[in-house]
Amino acid sequence: MDYAVTKALHIIGFVSWFAALFYIPRLFIYDVEAEQREPAARVAIQEQLRMMQRRLWYAIAWPAMIFTVVFGLWTAVPYFLSDVPIGWLHVKLTLILALVIYHLMCGKIRKQLAAGTSRWTSSGLRVWNEVATLLLVAIVFLAVMKNTFDMVKGMVGLFLFAVALMIAIRVYRKARLARAASMQTP
Annotated binding site: 10, 92
Residue 25's contacts (CB-CB under 8 Å, 6 or more residues apart) are 106, 109, 125, 126, 128, 129, 132
Pick from 42, 169, 150: nearest CA to 91 = 150
Cβ atoms of residues 57 and 108 within 8 Å = no
Cβ atoms of residues 50 and 28 within 8 Å = no
| Residue 31 identity | D
Residue 54's contacts (CB-CB under 8 Å, 6 or more residues apart) are 110, 114
Helices (H), the chain: 3-33, 39-56, 62-81, 87-115, 122-145, 151-184
Known binding-site residue numbers for heme = 10, 92
Pick from 48, 47, 56, 46: nearest CA to 24 = 56
